[in-house]
Chain A
Amino acid sequence: MINSFEDFTEYSASVKEKSLNKPEINILVSLGTCGIAAGTLPVQEEFISQIKERELSSKVELTDVGCMGICYCEPSIELINRKTGKSIIYGNVKRDDVSLILDCLTEKDVKGVDVIKKSWYYPETEDATAGLLQAKIALRNTGRINPEILEEYIFNSGYQALAKVLSSMTPKSIIQEVLQSGLRGRGGGGFPTGKKWDFAAAQKNETKFVICNADEGDPGAFMDRAVLEGDPHSVLEAMAIAGFAIGSHKGFIYIRAEYPLAIKRLQIAIKQSTEFGLLGKNIMGFGFDFEIELRYGAGAFVCGEETALIHSIEGLRGMPTTRPPFPAVAGLWEKPTIVNNVETFANVCAIIRKGAQWYKSIGTETSAGTKVFALAGKINKVGLIEVPMGTNLRDIIYDVGGGIFDGKEFKAVQTGGPSGGCITKDYLDTPIDYETLKSLGSMMGSGGMIVMDEDDCMVNVAKFFLDFTVDESCGKCTPCRIGGKHMYAILDKITKGRASDKDLETLRELCQTVKSSSLCGLGMTCPNPVLSTMKYFENEYREHVADKKCKAHKCPDLITYLIDIGKCIGCSVCAKKCPVQCISGKLKEPHKIDQSKCIKCGECFMACKFAAISRN
């Protein structure tokens, strides 16, 4: 139990000292949701049993960590030599690889095991970001420490920022520091965090609240989950700092129910910190109280919007309300409330420890620091990356992301999820920050980045996002509820080859109406995927409408499969593959497809070894 500042410094020192006696080799096993889904648990079991069997426990320590970010090669493990500081990452590790790795136990390549990178991570030092593509600030501990052990967090400067603000800073000076750092909200809007805190601090009210938005609604973004699974304490610590800054004693984390592992790790972290006196009553003996409770989402995307989220915590239907009043003035139960995103909080402690100037020196003029992106889709290295703001897309996709999957051609990258838009080849060299993305008709959003290749139909992608927003519209305002449905209906018509030029015009008008007249961000931004694809891929829309063609062969109604009688040798492989038995013909004679029955699944096209089936 920590009762004073001295207790804390003593405890931190003892943790450091204890670590000197730790085994020389530390093996990190990636146990985030993706790692577990990919089969890390059996690998971990094998390590445990072999370390025991070989009596290696004095030499080797096994550490369960969160997501390392290299989801494309899970199960992955990292072997660190504590003496030399060197490390090596092995990917696609199988149970059988474990004994090979334990035979070697150095940072050398092990024959037969995929080596992903040597000494790859970027330590959080002042100059670490210069010259390197990736920089870890928000993810500084994710994938490096055991999130269920408080000591490991303490070892990595944990709770030092909180100790610093309680012992030597005033609420005003904290807010100044955050303001000067240039930190902006990572949940989508990019509102200056310091400013938000300042508004809330200025309110005269006994009761105020700090809310962490962990609803992560963008379907294809998983950075918040990774932070909560891999480094929950960094969010708790930052929330307490925010509480001290604005004069609040109570925080809520609103987390999606679909994230059971993150919930579990948060529960553990809250319990540990409270037991240790780092949260709860009279933190570190400074007389400051701050407690944190979890509240669960229940599968409504709109609840990521801050006013809807607040109503959801109040136990109501999660419908947004008009602002002002802003939550900072009248939020949860009408009390001043700040709502910040997980990643925003994850940056705060580093800023407090190292200062605003350090943070500001990273990134661009208007967007300081780094951004975490969830890189997915048609890319080789699917995973979680953190790069300084201002990094260009080319570096992200071709360097960090390892290029396009299967050697296909890059077509576009979608950022900002259902509220965002796409960026095309022509803009690959644009440095990414809040402003540049906006000027390209997209937005930062929470950081989902979906890469698409030549096989993706942009009309279909727009339809996908509209389907999502129509489904998730809360129905409170008419433009979003009805306008969205109409937009979807038109897109559906286009993909089925039944639309006219007039429809395209109507679609464009609808987009403007819904954008300008919806109540909340969901409605206001839901036309973005349509507008942006219409802007950059107008040709594709025209082809669907005028020629009734889908070049990417994604829209089933616009595809026909035909057998070339000249090339077909009658092997009947296609007929056997066809799931609806619509291909007929005698053996060794040309076959025929019954177009009225064909479901355009493409199985025959892929099965034919003689290129006798054409797709149009």
Chain B
Amino acid sequence: MCENSSKITVLEKYPDKTKSLNEFLNSLPLGADIKSNRGFLISCLHKAQSIFGYLPDEVQLLIAERLRLTLSDVYGVISFYSFFTTQPPGRNKINVCLGTACFVKGADKIFAEFEKQIGIKDGATSKDMKYSLSSIRCVGACSLAPVVTVNDKVYAKMTPLRVREILKECE
């Protein structure tokens, strides 16, 4: 199926993950019609990212081959959509809502505080892989604004002073 998979490191390193991605790919009605295959590209990327946590080169290549697209086709789509990432995320994914409701309640200050305390910018991961920091737009809990989520936990009515407390909890 994928001839050069023997050389591929990430795929080899995580055989279980690779298996579930392959199972997903096998379940799709892929064929010679590239246009139709392409319609599944974004779904494949979502699936792959949910399995691997990010989209390593080898995974992109595997998807490209199976969908009969070029790697640049695949990469072009990945780079367009902010949801996709080609970098492995940190252990604690900190998302600060910068939607309008949170913004008018001072979310920008909270975001700045996180940037300062962790020492990284929006979209980055700390060197020790402990934190990834992202600004996001409305998590739909506007009544609890300003909102911060860490992994799946929601922190409501945040203040800049509570930033340190949250980072401690992540230890």
Contacts and interface: CB of A to CB of B under 8 A. Distances in A.
Nearest to B107: A464
Nearest to A602: B109
B145 interface: yes
Nearest to A302: B80
B105 A377 contact: yes
Contacts of B154: 37
A147 to B, nearest CB: 15
A465 B140 CA distance: 18
Given A259-B140, A378-B104, A452-B104, A315 B42 contact: yes
B143 A383 contact: yes
Tell me which of B82, B139, B141, B142 has the highest count of chain A C-beta atoms within 10 A of its own C-beta.
B142
B46 interface: yes
Contact of A298 (B37, B76, B82, B144): B82
Interface residues of B, number: 40
Contact of A464 (B40, B103, B143): B103
Contacts of B108: 464
Interface stretch (A101-109, A219-227, A282-290): A219-227
B100 A414 contact: yes
Interface in A280-339: 295-301, 312-318, 333
A108 B83 CA distance: 48
B14 interface: no
Contacts of B139: 33, 37, 258
A601 interface: yes
Nearest to B145: A376
Contacts of B162: none
A37 B141 contact: yes
Contact of B101 (A74, A299, A450, A461): A450
Given A257-B46, A315-B38, A220 B99 contact: yes
A461 B105 CA distance: 12
A318 B76 CA distance: 11
Contact of B35 (A295, A333, A377, A474): A333
Contact of B42 (A34, A38, A298, A461): A298
Contacts of A299: 81-84
B133 interface: no
B141 A298 contact: no
B42 A376 contact: no
A456 interface: yes
B143 A382 contact: yes
B100 A417 contact: yes
Interface string A57-80: 000000000000001101000000
B19 interface: no
Interface in A245-298: 257-259, 295-298
Contact of A219 (B41, B43, B82, B100): B100
For B42, B77, B98, which residue has the most chain A Cβ atoms within 10 angstroms?
B42
Interface string B98-140: 1111011100110000000000000000000000000011111
Interface string A196-226: 0000000000000000000001111110010
Interface residues of A, number: 50
A318 B81 contact: yes
B83 to A, nearest CB: 4
A14 to B, nearest CB: 36
B170 interface: no
Looking at A217, A219, A317, A382, the one whose CB has the most chain B CB atoms below 10 A away is A219
Interface in A14-68: 33-34, 37-38
Interface in B19-44: 35, 37-43
B142 A376 contact: yes
Contacts of A376: 100-101, 142-143, 145
A314 B80 CA distance: 14
B29 to A, nearest CB: 12
A448 B109 CA distance: 23
Contacts of A257: 46, 83
Given A299-B83, A376-B143, A38 B100 contact: no
A312 B136 CA distance: 20
Given A315-B38, A456-B104, A225 B140 contact: yes
Contact of B99 (A74, A219, A297, A461): A219
A400 interface: no
A125 to B, nearest CB: 29
Contacts of A601: 109, 160
Nearest to B142: A376
Contacts of B160: 601
A448 B145 CA distance: 15
Given A298-B83, A298-B84, A315-B39, A37 B144 contact: yes
Nearest to A405: B105
Interface in B26-67: 35, 37-43, 45-46
Contacts of A480: none
| Residue among A316, A414, A474 with the highest chain B CB neighbour number at 10 A | A316
Nearest to B147: A37
A537 interface: no
Contact of A382 (B37, B41, B101, B109): B101
Given A219-B137, A298-B42, 20 more contacts: A34-B142, A37-B154, A220-B100, A222-B140, A299-B84, A300-B80, A314-B35, A314-B38, A317-B77, A374-B142, A376-B145, A377-B100, A377-B105, A378-B105, A382-B142, A417-B100, A464-B100, A464-B108, A468-B137, A601-B109
Interface of A: 33-34, 37-38, 71-72, 74, 217-222, 225, 257-259, 295-301, 312-318, 333, 374, 376-378, 382-383, 414, 417, 448, 450, 452, 456, 461, 464-465, 468, 474, 601
27 contacts: A33-B141, A34-B141, A34-B144, A38-B143, A71-B141, A219-B98, A219-B99, A219-B100, A220-B138, A222-B140, A258-B83, A297-B81, A298-B82, A298-B83, A299-B81, A300-B80, A300-B83, A312-B42, A314-B38, A314-B39, A374-B142, A377-B104, A382-B101, A382-B142, A382-B143, A417-B100, A601-B160
Q: Enumerate the 5 nearest inter-chain pairs by beta-carbon distance, A residue then B residue, closest first.
A: A220-B100, A298-B81, A71-B143, A299-B83, A315-B38
